Amino acid sequence: MRKPWLAPILAAFTAIAGVGAAAPAAAETTLKMAYALSASSHYGAGGEAFSKSLEASSKGKFKVQQFANSALGGEREVIEGLQLGTIDAAILSTGATLNFVPQTGVFDIPFLMRDLTHARKVLDGKIGQDMLSEFSKRGLVALAWGEQGFRHLTNSKRPVASAADAKGLKIRTTENQIHILAFRQIGILPTPMAWPEVATALQQGTIDGQENPLSVITSAKLSQLQKHLSLTGHVYAPTVIMVSPTVYEGLSDAEKQQFLEAARKASQAMRDFVDNVEKTGVEQLKAEGMEIVTKVDRKSFEDAMAPVYPEYYKKFDKALIESIRNTR
């Protein structure tokens, strides 16, 4: 026979057990985020900002594990991983994305963007936001535009102050036909190559040089491999902060907003990094032994590349190109 004094104890125990069953602890999800450069680069700054924002807004439900230095493969492999769901998130260059979403190549047209302010207005405005929506047509989710800055030329052979000086140099490029077309036009020998192969190719002399923003040149320590830097500023280089559809489609509307906010924080962190390196990078590279041509005859490059613009007008809507150019 049950003792009368046991009733309240049993009732309390049952209530506690019921609460535990009805409200289990939220499961923690760890996401794999990939990018090409080191954790100390602008990519790393973006990845860290994304991670911190998402973990805070989700109250720890989502944690992000960073895979820097192409640890999960080159950028093409990473995009394929996003499509397959084997990689959860990534920060990628448009040099890779244009092979999946060709329209993004319009931002890679040489001498289209005047400066960082111009570029950011384009990407933050209707043109850039409409472009992000194109990714969904290729089984990808693009949340925000990140940034690398303007690309400059480095090489191990000679100072380059004009387009004529660059003729004959064997320069690594991304798998980017927009860049390759322009370089061939001025007599550079473009050599498409995945980023993880570049350091070895420079060391072995397989290529004479490469072209990248100061953010990459400094963080990848290219001053140890290249003697000459020319501040050509020939192309603006955005990045795209992306998430796998496998992850995104399983999110609630509130969680999707958390991911979007995390991507925006990542974008701002990358821009802050670029702003800083634009102020300090040249002096840093000089101190590390690079010989830097600061007064580049940019008009000689623009004039030399001008004959390829009709090809760009065939590939992309001329009205879009002019709209980008005229953004104020």
Residues 242-262: tens digit of each pLDDT: 999 999 999 999 999 999 999
Q: Which pLDDT value is given to residue 4?
A: 47
Name beta bridge partners: 241: 91, 144
Lowest mean pLDDT among 2-11, 108-117, 176-185: 2-11
Q: Which pLDDT value is given to residue 16?
A: 41
Name beta bridge partners: 242: 90, 142
Q: pLDDT digit string (tens) for 146-176?
A: 999 999 999 999 999 999 999 999 999 988 8
Q: Which pLDDT value is given to residue 6?
A: 45
Instruction: Please tell me whether residue 326 adopts helix, strand or coil conformation.
Output: coil
Kindly state the average pLDDT of the residues 53-71. 97
Assigned token pair, 133: 């929506």
Question: Residue 99 — pLDDT band, cuts 50, 70, 90?
Answer: confident
Q: pLDDT digit string (tens) for 4-54?
A: 444 444 444 344 444 444 444 457 999 999 999 999 999 999 999 999 999
For the chain, the average pLDDT equals 92
CA distance 167 to 226: 18
CA distance 164 to 175: 24
Q: pLDDT digit string (tens) for 112-142?
A: 999 999 999 999 999 999 999 999 999 899 9
Distance of CA 323 to the CA centre of its chain: 23
On whether the CB atoms of residues 223 and 202 are closer than 8 A, the answer is no
CATH level 2 (architecture), domain 28-271+281-325: 3-Layer(aba) Sandwich (3.40)
Residue 308 pLDDT greater than 80, yes or no: yes
Write down the domain spans for the chain: 28-271+281-325
